[in-house]
Amino acid sequence: MKPDRITGTLCVGVSACRVQVPCATATCLSGSNSYIAPIMTARTLNSLGIAKAPKDTRVVVAMSGGVDSSVTAALMAEQGYDVVGITLQLYDHGAALAKKGACCAGLDIHDARNVADALGFPHYVLDYESRFRQEVIDDFADSYLRGETPIPCVRCNQTVKFRDLLATARELQADVLCTGHYVRRVEGENGAELHRAIDPQKDQSYFLFATTREQLDFLRFPLGGMEKEETREHARRFGLAIADKPDSQDICFVPNGRYAELVEKLRPGAAEPGEIVHLDGTVLGRHKGIIHYTIGQRKGLGIGGRRDEDGNPDTDALYVVRLDPAASKVVVGPREALGRETVYVDQLNWLGDALPGEAGIPIEVKLRSATRPASARIYTDSEGRGRILLDTPQHGIARGQAAVFYTPGDSTRVLGGGWITGTEESAAAA
């Protein structure tokens, strides 16, 4: 799939061309057919695992304008690879474009282009706004309407970045696509494996669980073996102006963090009010739309607590335990009511050596990006669905989130993951 639009300067003259394609297979992007790639005689693998000299290895780098992707590009250029930088224009939110902490915005495109200019490799901006709106933003809004808690960053990686951008990289005759994600690609006995990053505070494996085996063959993650401060030291060493640029914190298309406002704008009428109901059926108050609530939420319910049989305040905190979009109800209860021991997932992406099947295998599973992995056992069926049986009930599990699987013990390997479609209560909560 070709990009909607490409902007940027290709090159001036054959001598300046750094985006050359061997004439035997394609035409040089400069319009000249005068370049012929040298024939490799040695089978020694370069640092990216390719049997070519670095100068003959084309590396497309996904550049967001932040320090991580910029250092990735700089490291590849320093090693002598034929680097091409690509930045995705994903949205246009006017004033939000200049907000610190938002990625893929106008300022970030400017920063990415400056890095490419400073290091001397070509840089392109691809207009992906239409497909980003369809694949990520619309899905985000619809997910909230279904009472789910979406993760748009995973959808973005799954579609726009690791499907569409990867296809574009192949069209540019790239040998690999590099990103600045903190995750590791390891060559195993049965092919490429996905592993956690060395830095546990920066590990992004949860957001990359949907990466397929085919994509892993083409992808490289040079920062996966680094601590974040080491990355910034490299940026300073290269003299990059973005060396101390803050990390992005918000969802790029919701830079103010007010998700419900965006959903209501995209889906007028989405904020339909309704009842806040206790598990015992007691109506405690009114809500202003289920899009404002998520499973496990405690603050901001506005119900002022309950009273016991004697009329005294009940000090036990209440949490959102269920969302009922059909009836427009927010169901609340005590924390123990959040406990779940069985989780169901769909759209399973398995990266292990063999599917667990009906026998199941032990795993560790992350059910939210910010939670620690929990011990469990996973069972799969022939339809690409999984059933996770947790050793200990977990709290705050929401539909629309991801369940990401890891090899238990000291291993760092990612076994895959899937989208949470439902849960069953633990015996203690039932």
Q: Do the beta carbons of residue 392 and residue 310 sit within 8 Å?
A: no
> Quick one: what percent of the chain has pLDDT higher than 90?
67
264-294: per-residue pLDDT in tens?
Answer: 888 998 889 999 999 999 999 999 999 999 9
What would the mean pLDDT of 296-317 be, rounded to a whole number? 71
Q: What integer pLDDT is reported at residue 248 of this predicted model?
A: 75
> Class of 271-336 per CATH?
mainly beta
Q: Where in the chain is the domain with CATH 2.30.30.280?
A: 271-336
CATH 3.40.50.620 assigned to 41-237:
yes
Q: Where in the chain is the domain with CATH 3.40.50.620?
A: 41-237
Task: Say whether pLDDT at 429 is over 70.
Answer: no
Q: What integer pLDDT is reported at residue 410 of this predicted model?
A: 86
Q: Do the beta carbons of residue 76 and residue 178 sit within 8 Å?
A: yes
CA distances from 154 to 159, 160, 196, 369, 401 (A): 9, 10, 16, 11, 10
Q: How far apart are the C-alpha atoms of 114 and 116, rounded to whole Å?
A: 5
| Nearest CA among 183, 361, 145, 104 for reference residue 271 | 145
CA distances from 215 to 146, 157, 196, 393 (A): 30, 11, 17, 34
Q: Token pair for residue 249?
A: 């914190």
pLDDT band at 91 (very low <50, low <70, confident <90, very high): confident
Question: Residue 188 phi/psi, 5° resolution?
Answer: -100, -175
Pairwise pLDDT comparison (248 vs 55), residue with the higher score:
55
User: Considering the entire predicted model, what is its pTM?
Assistant: 0.83
Q: What integer pLDDT is reported at residue 32 of this predicted model?
A: 34
23-60: per-residue pLDDT in tens?
Answer: 333 333 333 333 333 444 446 899 999 999 999 999 99
Q: Which fold would CATH assign to domain 339-425?
A: Elongation Factor Tu (Ef-tu); domain 3 (2.40.30)
Q: What integer pLDDT is reported at residue 252 of this predicted model?
A: 79
387-408: per-residue pLDDT in tens?
Answer: 999 999 999 999 999 999 999 9
Q: What integer pLDDT is reported at residue 422 of this predicted model?
A: 94
Q: Where in the chain is the domain with CATH 2.40.30.10?
A: 339-425
157-173: per-residue pLDDT in tens?
Answer: 888 888 889 999 999 99
What's the residue count for the chain?
430
Q: Token pair for residue 215?
A: 């994509």
Residues 6 or more apart whose Cβ sits within 8 Å of residue 56: 37, 38, 40, 82
Task: Say whether pLDDT at 310 is over 70.
Answer: no
Task: Say whether pLDDT at 304 is over 70.
Answer: no
What would the mean pLDDT of 421-427 be, rounded to a whole number? 79
pLDDT band at 309 (very low <50, low <70, confident <90, very high): low
Q: How far apart are the C-alpha atoms of 430 and 279, rounded to whole Å?
A: 11
103-133: per-residue pLDDT in tens?
Answer: 445 788 999 999 999 999 999 999 888 889 9
Task: Say whether pLDDT at 249 is over 80.
Answer: no
Q: Token pair for residue 178?
A: 């590099």
Q: How far apart are the C-alpha atoms of 81 and 381, rounded to whole Å?
A: 44
Task: Say whether pLDDT at 93 is over 90.
Answer: no
Task: Say whether pLDDT at 427 is over 60.
Answer: no
Residues with catalytic function: 156, 252
Q: What integer pLDDT is reported at residue 384 of this predicted model?
A: 85
Task: Say whether pLDDT at 184 is over 80.
Answer: yes
- Arithmetic mean of pLDDT over the chain: 84
Q: What integer pLDDT is reported at residue 106 of this predicted model?
A: 73
